[in-house]
Amino acid sequence: MARDFEDHCWKDVVDPDTLQIYQAYRRKTYVGDKPAVLAIDLYNKAYLGGDRPVKEVDRQFSGSCGENAWRALPPTQKLFAASRRAGIPVIYTTRHVDTGGVHSTNRNASREADDIYDIKAELAPQADELVIYKERASAFFGTPLIAHLQQKRIDSLIICGESTSGCVRASAVDAYSHGYHVVLAEECCFDRSLLSHKVNLFDMHHKYCDVMHLDEVIAHLASQPAVKKAS
């Protein structure tokens, strides 16, 4: 719990001069009031090719996060279990296979199988959980997410999923802009590029979000009185 503000995965890529410049952002991190988990793009496509290096799976499955995705799978299952125990809603994002030409990034896309945007079975939504379909990187852009959050009286978010440098970042920045306190569960975020993963977590931690280790988030959730799920 008493870890340092900079005790995170970016330690080996951000130099001491830069850390010193960012001293002004130091503060106590915390999980906010009335949180929801926002699980970004945990669909099959991210896991294609299996638990192997990204550069290997990428040859056949462009867009897969390979071993980075698989490494985050057990921690994400733990996060979901602890959240549901504490009565905290889990909200998912994914996308439709065909969106009429509006895409979340500029990647040259080829034809895609029908189930690649289904949520990975091990992380599947429960019957009453909300799935938001988006066409852009941010979970807020072009979706009714803000209305659902307001109707459920959710006041903060715990964000996980992929990619750290893409849809997670765009969603986290938008959540901060809308006035939410945002936690990123470090071990539950992943990317195809480790450097982008680390630098984006560094950027967000200092500017917009509290990057917290999963055990810190879990300890917080376990300390909450069990509440019945919001209808």
- Name the residues that contact a copy of itself, by CB under 8 A: 13-15, 17-18, 20-22, 24-27, 54-55, 58, 62-63, 99-102, 105-108, 130, 135-138, 141-151, 153, 155, 165-166, 170, 173-174, 176-180, 192-196, 199-200, 202-203, 206-208
> Which tokens in the block code for residue 169?
């970042």
Rounded to a whole number of angstroms, the minimum distance from the CB of residue 78 to a copy of itself is 26
Q: Which is nearer to a copy of itself, 40 or 218 (CB)?
A: 40
CA dihedral 157, 7, 42, 102 (to 10 degrees): 80
CB-side exposure of 107: number of CA atoms within 13 Å?
12
Q: Which is nearer to a copy of itself, 119 or 218 (CB)?
A: 119
Q: What are the residue ranges of helices labelled H in the chain?
A: 16-21, 54-60, 66-85, 145-151, 169-177, 194-207, 214-222
**Bond into 83 cis (ω within 30):** no
Q: Which is nearer to a copy of itself, 9 or 146 (CB)?
A: 146
Q: Which is nearer to a copy of itself, 196 or 224 (CB)?
A: 196
Q: Which is nearer to a copy of itself, 37 or 82 (CB)?
A: 37
Rounded to a whole number of angstroms, the minimum distance from the CB of residue 139 to a copy of itself is 11
CA distance 170 to 203: 12
Please provide residue 125's backbone torsions phi and psi, each rounded to the nearest 5 degrees. -60, 145
Rounded to a whole number of angstroms, the minimum distance from the CB of residue 89 to a copy of itself is 11
> Which tokens in the block code for residue 43?
């669909």
Rounded to a whole number of angstroms, the minimum distance from the CB of residue 86 to a copy of itself is 20
Rounded to a whole number of angstroms, the minimum distance from the CB of residue 147 to a copy of itself is 4
